[in-house]
Chain A
Amino acid sequence: MMVKKPLEFRLNGTEVAVFADEAENLLSVLRAKVGDLTPKYGCGQGGCGACMVTIDGRTVLSCITLAETVAGADVGTLAGLSGERLDPLQEAFMDGFAAQCGYCTPGMIVAARALLQHNPTPDRDQIIEAISDNICRCTGYEPIIEAIQSVVAQERAGGS
């Protein structure tokens, strides 16, 4: 018989309590139990980055993270980045046509925001390194890199 375990953590600053299945992964908890559909199921093997979220500010691939390991932790997803206004990264992705099918976009923006939190002025190589866990099949990456660079320039110029 499947054992369900109570699990509590903070998701984008809000307390969440769910019953997680034994060995259930974090992506499944977020999508099926909490209803946050912004992390995407891509490969399910930690190879594509579509499921990327943050735990205490560090990026992880939620499809290969055991849900029980986030007990008491701060989990962040794309849904937490925008309130009444979109995150500047979301604006830049739209303005720069940095999405085509859009499936990689949540993971890309989570990766980019985590980078900018640790390093507000990354150069092009550092941006490339930060998104190198994330696969994009449509854009050829260039518009994504440029969108992130535009936010770096904007925030350096004194925005937010």
Chain B
Amino acid sequence: MAIYKGRGVCAMNYPIGMNLGGDPSQALVHSNPDGKFTVTLSSIDLGQGMKSVSRQVAAETLGVPVADVYVDTADSDTGPQCMGSFASRGTHRVGNAVIAAAKEARAVMLEAAAEELEVNAVDLETDGLGNILVKGAPGRSITTQEACNVAQFKYGQSVSGRGIFLIPMSDVDPDTGEMTTVSCFAHMAMIVDLEVDDETGEVFNVRMNSAYEVGRALNPKLVEQQLVGGAWMGLSHALYETTEPCYPSRDHRPYSFSSYPMPGPGDLASHGISILERPAPDGPFGGKGVGEMCANPVLPAVANAIYDAVGVEMDELPMTAEKILRAIRAKAGRAGDNG
């Protein structure tokens, strides 16, 4: 009949992307009549920021303002092939493909600018504001819009580019089982503090503190948002959510939000987050992926904290009050204590 405090830890090396039949993503970039650019992808933005990050990466590579780039995603009829938005691969795989495509388009744009300015293309630079300047002679310049127009109307060149980024398939060594994912890894560690009531099995006063190493945070606010929301979803899976509470019987499966338990705004856990940036050598401007890494570690950390608090090993999700209480009673029974 007491409240027990517990602390659990989880640390993780998280691989970005996958290694099934190889892991390619493609991107196409082209200039438009108004001097702006379209990036065409098949990757999905489901709110995590795929479009924003692709837009930033394309603008940075092309040397134009972010406002001059439009990203057209999620249409596999018109977009080039992409394996998809999963396995936290979007920023890393698609970002690299966008860089490759934008570099090709940029080269055509700079060639046209070089002809107009009567210099060599290697002597040109972009200012990120839509101007192409001669290095050391900034008075001699042409706008990116003009360059794209003359490329087309005067020189018959298409300011466009194709990009693909592939992590090739790695076969498993039949003798050793060894394989290489040839992927980059993100890292994290999390501490969960919580309290368990041994009379009811209830878990409450959950506090999370975590550190995530994400390569370069290409869009720091989006990274933070993903970490906050993802950890909450992990906590929800740890303590509340299940589609099949009476599995394997499906008779009692939830059919509405009233019978599918999820924490609401009143059930929040505090979460302190540190974001560490260590740019990945093979990432787009050093970026890795944070996607699933923010949700996964919460589950084992909560299980460890419950064990620390009341000494029961929870091996089934979600870790509801009922299951925890049953485990506490079973343990007490084995110990010959009817408490």
Contacts and interface: CB of A to CB of B under 8 A. Distances in A.
A141 B266 CA distance: 9
B229 interface: yes
B257 A47 contact: yes
A142 B268 contact: yes
A138 B265 CA distance: 12
A50 B226 CA distance: 21
B256 A141 contact: no
Nearest to A125: B266
B256 A140 contact: no
Contact of A137 (B48, B224, B233, B268): B233
Contacts of B46: 101
B266 A128 contact: yes
A131 B265 CA distance: 7
Contacts of B228: 139-140, 142-143
B258 interface: yes
Nearest to B221: A97
B225 interface: yes
Nearest to A44: B256
A85 to B, nearest CB: 21
A119 interface: no
B139 interface: no
Contact of A129 (B224, B256, B266): B266
Contacts of B3: none
Interface string A93-128: 000010111100000000000000000000000001
Given A48-B257, A97-B221, A132 B265 contact: yes
Interface string A124-156: 000011011001111111111100000000000
How big is chain B's contact interface, by range?
A: 20 to 34
B177 interface: no
A132 B48 contact: no
Contacts of B226: 100
Interface residues of A, number: 24
A132 B225 CA distance: 20
Contact of A135 (B222, B232, B233, B264): B264
Contacts of B33: none
B231 interface: yes
B339 interface: no
B265 A128 contact: yes
A45 interface: yes
A152 to B, nearest CB: 15
Nearest to B260: A47
A43 interface: yes
Contacts of A102: 47
Given A43-B257, A137-B233, A132 B222 contact: no
A43 B256 contact: yes
Interface of A: 43, 45, 47-48, 97, 99-102, 128-129, 131-132, 135-145
18 contacts: A43-B256, A43-B257, A45-B256, A45-B257, A45-B258, A48-B257, A100-B229, A101-B46, A101-B47, A132-B265, A137-B233, A139-B228, A140-B228, A140-B232, A140-B271, A141-B264, A142-B232, A145-B265
Interface of B: 46-48, 221-222, 224-226, 228-229, 231-233, 256-258, 262, 264-266, 268, 271
